[in-house]
Amino acid sequence: MSSDDARPAMRLPAALRRIDPAVAIAFGCIIVLLLLGSLYSPEFLSLDYILQQLKVASFLGVIATGMMIVVLLGQIDLSVPWVVAVGGMMSCAATAYGEIGALLAIPFGLLCGITLGIVNGIGVAYLRIPSMIITLAVNAVAKGLMVAYTGGFSPQDSASAAMRFIATGEIVFGIPNGLIVWALIGTGAVFLFTRTSFGRAIYAIGNRERAAYLSGVATQRVVMIAFAISGGLSALGGVLLAGYASRAAQAMGDPYLLQSIAAVVLGGTSILGGRGSYLGTVAGVILITLLQSILSVMQMEEFGRQVIYGVVIIGMLLLYGRERLLR
C-alpha cells in the first residue's frame, strides 16, 4: 500500500532546521520573563539574582534529568516525591552514624534511590506493569518506610558537611556548587543521549519499542537501568536539598513531581516518548524556577502562583505540544 504519510520538509536553512521550536520558545519565554521582571525591579537582571535562581534551579534540574530519561522511554516516574525524601533522609541518617557514616552519607542516599529505581525498572521492564502504577506503589512504599523510620516526626538528623558543601558551597568564582553538580549531571546526560548506544536505545524504545526489540537491543535491560538512574538522580536531588537546608524534612520531595514533569514537557520532550533534547529540559527547569521566583518576589499569593503556573503550562503546550489530527 503506497500510503506513506510523508510530508515535504519545511524549507528552512539547515542550521535553523536543527533547532527544536519548543526549545527556542522556552528560552524565548525565559528572556521575556526576565525582561518583565526587570520592569518590576532592575534586580532581576543582576548576576547575583541569576546565580541564585540557577542554584535553586539546580535541585529541580537534577531531578528533572532523571524524569526526562524515563519520559523519553514513553514512561513516567511518579515515585519522585518520596525517592527524593529517601535520598535526603537516608543520607542524613547515615551521617548520624559517626565518622564513617558521614563519609558514606551521600553514596548511601544515592544507593537507596537507585534501589527503589531498580524496583520500578523491574516492574516496568520485566513484569510489564504500567509505569504509572508501579511508581505510584513504590512511592507509597517509600513514604511508608520513611514515616515508619522517623516515627512520624520531622527527621532529626542533620546533613553531613559534604552534603552541605555540595549544596551551598562555592568552589569556583562564586558559582554555587549545586549548579556545578547540575552542570556535571547535565553534561553526563547529554553525553549519554548523543554519544552512547544506551542513549540511542532510549530514544529508539521511546519511539517504537517493537522495532528496537527486533533490532536486537536488550530493551528490558535498558528500561530497568533508565529507572535506576532516575531513582538515583531523584535521591541526589534529595541529598542536595537536605544539604541546602542542613536537614531533611517530611514531604520535602512533594513539589518536585509536578515541577519535574512540567519542566521536561515545557522543554519540548514529548510525554509519549522518543523525542526531546536536554537543552529543552534545561530551559524548562529554568523557566519554572524563574516563574516561581518572580511570582514570589511580586508577592503574588500562593493561590495566584498556582493558577498562573497552570495557565502558563497549558498556554505553552498549546503552542508546540499539540498532537496530529487523526485524518
Partner 1 sequence: MDVAVPLFRMEGVSKRYGGVRALEEAELNVHRGRVHAILGENGAGKSTLIKVMAGVVAPDKGRMTLEGQEVSFPDPASANNAGIVCIFQELSLIPDLSVADNIVISNPPKRFGMIDRRAQRRIAEEALARAGGADIHPMAPVKELPLSRRQIVEIAKALARRPRILILDEATSALTAADVVKVFAVLKRLRAEGLALLYISHRMHEIAEIADECTVFRNGRNVATYLTGTKTDNEVVEMMIGREYSHVFPPKSPAVRSDKPPMLEVRNLSWMQRLRDISLTARAGEVVGLGGLDGQGQRELLLALFGVLKGVSGEVLIDGKPTVIGSPRMAKSRTAGMALIPEDRKTEGLMLPMPVRDNLSFAALDRFCHGGIIDRTAERKAIDEMIKLLSIRSDGVDVPVGSLSGGNQQKVVIAKWLMMTPRIILLNDPTRGIDVGTKQEIYQLLHRLADSGAAIIFYSTDYDELIGCCNRVLVLYDGAVKRTLVEDEITERALIASALNIAVEQVEAGIKPAINA
Partner 2 sequence: MSDWRYRLAEQRGTLLAIAIFLVMFVIYVSNHPAGFTANVVQTAANKGVLLALVAMAQTLVVLTAGIDLSVGMVFTLTNCIGSYIVTGSMGTALLGVLGVLVTGLMCGALNGLIVIYGRLQPIVTTIATGSIYYGIALWLRPQPGSDDNFNSDIADLMTSQLPGGIPMSLVALLMVVLVVWLPFRRSAVGRAVYAVGSSEVAAYMSGVPIRRAKFVAYTLSGLLSAMGGLYVTFITYSGEASFAGGGSYTLFSIAAVVLGGVSLFGGVGSAVGAIFGALAFRTIGDLIFVFDLEALWQELFQGVVLLLAVCIGAARLFQVRNRLDLFS
The residue ranges that bind partner 1 (CB under 8 A) are 1-9, 18, 195-198, 200, 203-204, 207-208, 210-218, 274-275, 327
Give yes or no for residue 314 binding partner 2 (CB under 8 A).
Answer: yes
Give yes or no for residue 184 binding partner 2 (CB under 8 A).
Answer: no
| Shortest separation between residue 92's beta carbon and partner 1, angstroms | 34
Contact between residue 181 and residue 274 where contact means Cβ atoms under 8 Å apart: no
Query: Cα-flanking dihedrals φ and ψ of residue 109, to 5°?
Result: -60, -45
Indicate which of partner 1, partner 2, none lies near residue 196 (CB less than 5 to 8 Å, by partner kind). Answer: partner 1
Query: Cα-flanking dihedrals φ and ψ of residue 323, to 5°?
Result: -85, 165
- Closer CB to partner 2, 176 or 273, in the complex: 273
| Shortest separation between residue 59's beta carbon and partner 1, angstroms | 29
The interaxial angle of helices 219-245 and 80-95, nearest 10 deg, is 60
Q: Which stretch binds partner 2 (CB under 8 A): 29-37, 104-112, 137-145, 169-177?
A: 137-145
Give yes or no for residue 28 binding partner 2 (CB under 8 A).
Answer: no
Map the footprint of partner 2 across residues 99-118, applying CB under 8 A.
none
Neighbours of 151 (CB within 10 A): 9
Indicate which of partner 2, partner 1, none lies near residue 313 (CB less than 5 to 8 Å, by partner kind). Answer: partner 2
- 202's grid cell: 532510549
Neighbours of 288 (CB within 10 A): 23
**Which whole-number Å values give the CA distances from 38 to 56, 161, 248, 293, in the listed order?**
19, 36, 34, 13
Give yes or no for residue 137 binding partner 2 (CB under 8 A).
Answer: yes
Q: Which stretch binds partner 2 (CB under 8 A): 29-37, 84-92, 170-178, 205-213?
A: 205-213
Q: How far apart are CA 27 and CA 25, in angstroms?
A: 5
Q: What single string gives the DSSP state of each residue in 243-304?
A: HHHSB--TTTTHHHHHHHHHHHHHTT--TTSS---HHHHHHHHHHHHHHHHHHHHTT--HHH
| Shortest separation between residue 136's beta carbon and partner 2, angstroms | 6
Give yes or no for residue 132 binding partner 2 (CB under 8 A).
Answer: yes
Give the footprint of partner 2 on this chain (CB under 8 A). Answer: 76, 78, 123, 127-130, 132-134, 136-145, 147-148, 151-152, 209-210, 213-214, 251, 254, 258, 261-262, 265, 271-272, 301-311, 313-314, 317-318, 321-326
